[in-house]
Amino acid sequence: MSFRPLLGDGRIRTREEETAPLQSASWIGTSLVFDSRRWACQEAELRWTAPHHLIVLTDGGGTSRTSIRAEGKALYDGQDRPGVLTFVPAGAERVGFYRDVDLSYSALWIDPELALPGLQRLRDIPILVNRSDTVIGTLLRSLCTEMSLGHLPDTVYVEHLVALVGLRMADLSGNQLPPASRGRLGRRTFERVRDYIDAHVASDISLSAVAAIAGMPVDTFARRFKETTGRPPYAYILEERVRRAELLLRDTEMAIGAIAFRLGFSSQSHFTTTFRRLKGITPRAYRLHISPES
Protein backbone atom coordinates (compact mmCIF):
# COMPACT_ATOMS: atom_id res chain seq x y z
CA MET A 1 0.00 0.00 0.00
CA SER A 2 1.40 3.42 -0.96
CA PHE A 3 1.13 6.55 1.18
CA ARG A 4 -1.69 8.91 0.18
CA PRO A 5 -3.57 11.40 2.38
CA LEU A 6 -7.23 10.47 2.89
CA LEU A 7 -8.60 13.74 1.51
CA GLY A 8 -7.57 16.11 -1.24
CA ASP A 9 -5.53 15.81 -4.38
CA GLY A 10 -1.97 16.31 -5.57
CA ARG A 11 1.22 14.44 -6.42
CA ILE A 12 3.36 12.10 -4.32
CA ARG A 13 6.62 10.37 -5.23
CA THR A 14 8.36 7.97 -2.85
CA ARG A 15 11.33 5.58 -2.77
CA GLU A 16 11.40 2.26 -0.89
CA GLU A 17 8.13 2.93 0.86
CA GLU A 18 6.19 0.99 3.49
CA THR A 19 2.94 2.17 5.01
CA ALA A 20 0.35 0.57 7.29
CA PRO A 21 -3.00 1.98 8.48
CA LEU A 22 -3.51 1.76 12.25
CA GLN A 23 -6.83 3.46 13.08
CA SER A 24 -9.37 5.34 10.95
CA ALA A 25 -12.88 6.70 11.56
CA SER A 26 -15.18 9.53 10.53
CA TRP A 27 -18.08 11.40 12.12
CA ILE A 28 -20.90 13.55 10.69
CA GLY A 29 -20.32 12.04 7.27
CA THR A 30 -16.76 13.11 6.50
CA SER A 31 -16.90 16.43 8.36
CA LEU A 32 -14.49 15.00 10.94
CA VAL A 33 -12.01 12.30 9.93
CA PHE A 34 -9.30 10.71 12.07
CA ASP A 35 -6.51 8.64 10.52
CA SER A 36 -3.53 7.01 12.23
CA ARG A 37 -0.75 5.33 10.24
CA ARG A 38 2.83 4.13 10.23
CA TRP A 39 4.90 5.47 7.33
CA ALA A 40 8.43 4.59 6.28
CA CYS A 41 10.42 5.39 3.13
CA GLN A 42 13.88 6.47 2.01
CA GLU A 43 12.63 9.66 0.36
CA ALA A 44 9.31 11.30 -0.42
CA GLU A 45 8.15 14.39 -2.29
CA LEU A 46 4.62 15.69 -1.79
CA ARG A 47 2.54 18.48 -3.33
CA TRP A 48 -0.97 18.41 -1.86
CA THR A 49 -4.13 20.45 -1.35
CA ALA A 50 -7.19 19.35 0.63
CA PRO A 51 -10.69 20.78 1.20
CA HIS A 52 -10.39 20.16 4.98
CA HIS A 53 -8.16 21.67 7.65
CA LEU A 54 -5.48 19.17 8.63
CA ILE A 55 -3.76 18.70 12.00
CA VAL A 56 -1.00 16.07 12.14
CA LEU A 57 0.69 14.76 15.29
CA THR A 58 3.92 12.76 14.96
CA ASP A 59 3.29 9.99 17.51
CA GLY A 60 6.68 8.31 17.25
CA GLY A 61 9.79 8.05 15.11
CA GLY A 62 10.88 10.84 12.79
CA THR A 63 12.88 11.87 9.73
CA SER A 64 16.47 12.86 9.06
CA ARG A 65 15.15 15.82 7.10
CA THR A 66 11.79 17.50 6.58
CA SER A 67 11.47 20.51 4.30
CA ILE A 68 8.13 22.29 3.81
CA ARG A 69 7.33 25.12 1.38
CA ALA A 70 4.14 27.05 0.62
CA GLU A 71 3.48 29.84 -1.87
CA GLY A 72 7.11 29.66 -2.97
CA LYS A 73 8.44 30.33 0.53
CA ALA A 74 10.42 28.00 2.80
CA LEU A 75 8.45 27.38 6.02
CA TYR A 76 10.56 24.71 7.68
CA ASP A 77 13.81 22.81 7.13
CA GLY A 78 14.71 20.40 9.91
CA GLN A 79 13.58 17.05 11.30
CA ASP A 80 10.34 15.46 12.40
CA ARG A 81 10.38 14.18 15.98
CA PRO A 82 7.83 12.65 18.36
CA GLY A 83 5.21 15.03 19.74
CA VAL A 84 5.40 17.75 17.06
CA LEU A 85 2.31 19.16 15.32
CA THR A 86 1.67 20.43 11.82
CA PHE A 87 -1.38 22.45 10.77
CA VAL A 88 -2.49 23.02 7.16
CA PRO A 89 -5.60 25.16 6.55
CA ALA A 90 -8.20 24.03 4.02
CA GLY A 91 -7.29 24.92 0.45
CA ALA A 92 -3.61 25.64 1.17
CA GLU A 93 -1.04 23.84 -1.00
CA ARG A 94 1.92 22.39 0.85
CA VAL A 95 5.06 21.17 -0.84
CA GLY A 96 7.12 18.75 1.24
CA PHE A 97 10.36 16.82 0.98
CA TYR A 98 11.11 14.03 3.48
CA ARG A 99 14.23 11.85 3.89
CA ASP A 100 14.75 8.68 5.98
CA VAL A 101 11.14 8.55 7.07
CA ASP A 102 10.21 6.07 9.81
CA LEU A 103 7.37 7.36 11.91
CA SER A 104 3.79 6.92 13.08
CA TYR A 105 1.34 9.78 12.99
CA SER A 106 -2.25 10.75 13.75
CA ALA A 107 -4.11 13.05 11.34
CA LEU A 108 -7.30 14.95 12.11
CA TRP A 109 -9.24 16.36 9.14
CA ILE A 110 -11.82 19.09 9.89
CA ASP A 111 -14.45 20.40 7.46
CA PRO A 112 -14.08 24.23 7.42
CA GLU A 113 -17.88 24.55 7.27
CA LEU A 114 -18.33 22.69 10.55
CA ALA A 115 -19.86 25.06 13.13
CA LEU A 116 -18.04 24.21 16.37
CA PRO A 117 -16.47 26.51 18.98
CA GLY A 118 -12.93 27.52 18.10
CA LEU A 119 -13.01 26.33 14.50
CA GLN A 120 -14.01 29.61 12.84
CA ARG A 121 -10.49 31.02 13.29
CA LEU A 122 -8.70 28.02 11.75
CA ARG A 123 -9.20 29.42 8.25
CA ASP A 124 -7.17 32.49 9.30
CA ILE A 125 -4.17 30.48 10.55
CA PRO A 126 -1.24 29.95 8.15
CA ILE A 127 0.54 26.64 7.69
CA LEU A 128 2.37 25.74 10.92
CA VAL A 129 5.10 23.08 10.91
CA ASN A 130 6.60 21.12 13.79
CA ARG A 131 5.07 23.11 16.63
CA SER A 132 4.56 21.71 20.13
CA ASP A 133 1.47 21.74 22.34
CA THR A 134 1.07 19.12 25.06
CA VAL A 135 -2.71 19.60 25.31
CA ILE A 136 -3.39 19.01 21.60
CA GLY A 137 -0.98 16.07 21.65
CA THR A 138 -2.74 14.53 24.65
CA LEU A 139 -6.18 14.98 23.06
CA LEU A 140 -5.18 13.33 19.77
CA ARG A 141 -3.37 10.49 21.53
CA SER A 142 -6.41 9.85 23.75
CA LEU A 143 -8.61 9.56 20.66
CA CYS A 144 -6.15 7.14 19.06
CA THR A 145 -5.93 5.06 22.25
CA GLU A 146 -9.72 4.86 22.57
CA MET A 147 -10.01 3.58 19.01
CA SER A 148 -7.16 1.10 19.42
CA LEU A 149 -9.20 -0.49 22.23
CA GLY A 150 -12.06 -1.06 19.80
CA HIS A 151 -14.20 1.86 21.01
CA LEU A 152 -15.67 4.28 18.47
CA PRO A 153 -16.16 7.52 20.45
CA ASP A 154 -19.56 9.20 20.26
CA THR A 155 -20.01 12.16 17.92
CA VAL A 156 -20.69 14.60 20.76
CA TYR A 157 -17.44 13.56 22.49
CA VAL A 158 -15.39 13.95 19.29
CA GLU A 159 -17.00 17.34 18.58
CA HIS A 160 -15.99 18.54 22.05
CA LEU A 161 -12.44 17.24 21.59
CA VAL A 162 -12.13 18.91 18.18
CA ALA A 163 -13.44 22.21 19.59
CA LEU A 164 -10.72 22.11 22.27
CA VAL A 165 -8.10 21.35 19.62
CA GLY A 166 -9.33 24.31 17.55
CA LEU A 167 -9.12 26.69 20.50
CA ARG A 168 -5.60 25.51 21.38
CA MET A 169 -4.49 25.80 17.75
CA ALA A 170 -5.69 29.43 17.67
CA ASP A 171 -3.59 30.09 20.80
CA LEU A 172 -0.60 28.27 19.27
CA SER A 173 -0.69 30.55 16.23
CA GLY A 174 -1.25 33.71 18.28
CA ASN A 175 -4.70 34.09 16.71
CA GLN A 176 -6.63 34.06 19.97
CA LEU A 177 -10.40 34.10 20.20
CA PRO A 178 -12.17 37.02 21.90
CA PRO A 179 -13.54 36.41 25.42
CA ALA A 180 -16.87 34.59 25.32
CA SER A 181 -19.95 36.08 26.90
CA ARG A 182 -21.51 34.03 29.66
CA GLY A 183 -25.07 33.08 30.46
CA ARG A 184 -27.24 30.13 31.39
CA LEU A 185 -29.86 28.36 29.32
CA GLY A 186 -33.42 29.45 30.02
CA ARG A 187 -35.58 26.97 31.92
CA ARG A 188 -37.76 26.06 28.94
CA THR A 189 -34.76 25.79 26.63
CA PHE A 190 -32.99 23.48 29.04
CA GLU A 191 -36.12 21.36 29.40
CA ARG A 192 -36.33 20.96 25.61
CA VAL A 193 -32.68 19.94 25.48
CA ARG A 194 -33.05 17.55 28.41
CA ASP A 195 -36.12 15.93 26.85
CA TYR A 196 -34.27 15.48 23.55
CA ILE A 197 -31.30 13.85 25.30
CA ASP A 198 -33.66 11.61 27.29
CA ALA A 199 -35.36 10.45 24.07
CA HIS A 200 -32.11 9.86 22.17
CA VAL A 201 -29.67 8.90 24.90
CA ALA A 202 -28.94 5.52 23.25
CA SER A 203 -28.23 7.17 19.88
CA ASP A 204 -25.09 8.85 18.60
CA ILE A 205 -26.11 12.38 19.59
CA SER A 206 -24.24 15.23 17.92
CA LEU A 207 -23.56 18.61 19.50
CA SER A 208 -25.00 20.38 16.46
CA ALA A 209 -28.30 18.47 16.78
CA VAL A 210 -28.70 19.41 20.44
CA ALA A 211 -27.76 23.04 19.72
CA ALA A 212 -30.47 23.10 17.03
CA ILE A 213 -33.03 22.03 19.64
CA ALA A 214 -31.95 25.00 21.74
CA GLY A 215 -32.07 27.27 18.68
CA MET A 216 -28.50 28.51 19.22
CA PRO A 217 -25.13 28.43 17.46
CA VAL A 218 -23.08 25.48 18.62
CA ASP A 219 -20.45 27.52 20.47
CA THR A 220 -23.05 29.61 22.32
CA PHE A 221 -25.03 26.51 23.27
CA ALA A 222 -21.97 24.62 24.54
CA ARG A 223 -20.96 27.54 26.80
CA ARG A 224 -24.44 28.08 28.18
CA PHE A 225 -25.08 24.37 28.70
CA LYS A 226 -21.93 24.12 30.82
CA GLU A 227 -22.90 27.25 32.74
CA THR A 228 -26.29 25.63 33.44
CA THR A 229 -25.21 22.08 34.36
CA GLY A 230 -21.57 22.48 35.34
CA ARG A 231 -20.61 19.91 32.68
CA PRO A 232 -20.03 20.00 28.93
CA PRO A 233 -22.77 18.30 26.85
CA TYR A 234 -20.80 15.12 26.12
CA ALA A 235 -20.11 14.54 29.84
CA TYR A 236 -23.78 15.15 30.72
CA ILE A 237 -24.90 12.60 28.10
CA LEU A 238 -22.37 10.02 29.29
CA GLU A 239 -23.44 10.46 32.91
CA GLU A 240 -27.08 10.04 31.89
CA ARG A 241 -26.26 6.76 30.15
CA VAL A 242 -24.45 5.51 33.24
CA ARG A 243 -27.36 6.59 35.46
CA ARG A 244 -29.75 4.54 33.33
CA ALA A 245 -27.32 1.65 33.40
CA GLU A 246 -27.43 1.70 37.20
CA LEU A 247 -31.22 1.31 37.08
CA LEU A 248 -31.02 -1.61 34.65
CA LEU A 249 -28.32 -3.31 36.69
CA ARG A 250 -30.37 -2.90 39.86
CA ASP A 251 -33.90 -3.57 38.63
CA THR A 252 -33.47 -6.12 35.82
CA GLU A 253 -31.52 -9.27 35.03
CA MET A 254 -30.50 -7.96 31.61
CA ALA A 255 -27.04 -9.12 30.55
CA ILE A 256 -24.31 -6.50 30.85
CA GLY A 257 -23.56 -6.74 27.12
CA ALA A 258 -27.24 -6.12 26.34
CA ILE A 259 -27.28 -3.07 28.63
CA ALA A 260 -24.23 -1.70 26.83
CA PHE A 261 -25.94 -2.14 23.45
CA ARG A 262 -29.24 -0.69 24.67
CA LEU A 263 -27.59 2.48 25.97
CA GLY A 264 -25.51 3.16 22.88
CA PHE A 265 -22.03 2.10 24.02
CA SER A 266 -19.82 0.81 21.21
CA SER A 267 -19.02 -2.41 23.10
CA GLN A 268 -19.32 -4.09 26.50
CA SER A 269 -15.70 -3.21 27.27
CA HIS A 270 -16.38 0.46 26.44
CA PHE A 271 -19.37 0.39 28.79
CA THR A 272 -17.35 -1.28 31.54
CA THR A 273 -14.48 1.19 31.20
CA THR A 274 -16.83 4.20 31.26
CA PHE A 275 -18.91 2.88 34.17
CA ARG A 276 -15.79 2.16 36.25
CA ARG A 277 -14.32 5.60 35.49
CA LEU A 278 -17.48 7.39 36.63
CA LYS A 279 -18.60 5.13 39.48
CA GLY A 280 -15.32 3.61 40.68
CA ILE A 281 -16.64 0.06 40.24
CA THR A 282 -17.38 -2.30 37.34
CA PRO A 283 -21.01 -2.97 36.27
CA ARG A 284 -20.74 -6.59 37.44
CA ALA A 285 -19.38 -5.59 40.85
CA TYR A 286 -22.08 -2.91 41.14
CA ARG A 287 -24.82 -5.46 40.45
CA LEU A 288 -23.37 -7.91 42.98
CA HIS A 289 -23.12 -5.15 45.58
CA ILE A 290 -26.73 -4.03 45.05
CA SER A 291 -28.18 -7.55 44.72
CA PRO A 292 -25.77 -10.08 46.28
CA GLU A 293 -28.03 -13.00 45.31
CA SER A 294 -27.50 -12.23 41.60
Residue extents of the structural domains in the chain: 10-133
% of residues, the chain, pLDDT over 70: 95
Q: Distance between CA 55 and CA 228 in Å, rounded?
A: 32
pLDDT at 86 > cutoff 80:
yes
Q: For 95-101, what is the mean pLDDT?
A: 95
Identify the DSSP state of 123: G
Q: Name the 3-class secondary structure at 29.
A: coil
Cα dihedral 22→23→24→27 (10° resolution)? -170
Q: Do 93 and 70 meet the contact criterion of CB atoms below 8 Å apart? A: yes
* Side-chain half-sphere CA neighbours of 93 within 13 A: 11
Q: What is the pLDDT of residues 9-50, one digit of tens each?
A: 999 999 998 888 888 999 999 999 999 999 999 999 999 999
Q: For 60-85, what is the mean pLDDT?
A: 92
Rounded (10°) angle between helices 187-200 and 207-214: 140
pLDDT at 181 > cutoff 70:
no
% of residues, the chain, pLDDT over 90: 61
Q: Name the 3-class secondary structure at 126.
A: coil
Neighbours of 1 (CB within 10 A): 9
Q: What is the pLDDT at residue 39?
A: 93
Q: Distance between CA 88 and CA 92 in Å, rounded?
A: 7
Identify the DSSP state of 8: -
Q: Distance between CA 65 and CA 99 in Å, rounded?
A: 5
Mention the CATH class of domain 10-133: mainly beta
- The DSSP H or E segment spanning 178 is none
Q: Mean pLDDT score of the chain, rounded to an integer? A: 89
| The overall pTM is greater than 0.85 | no
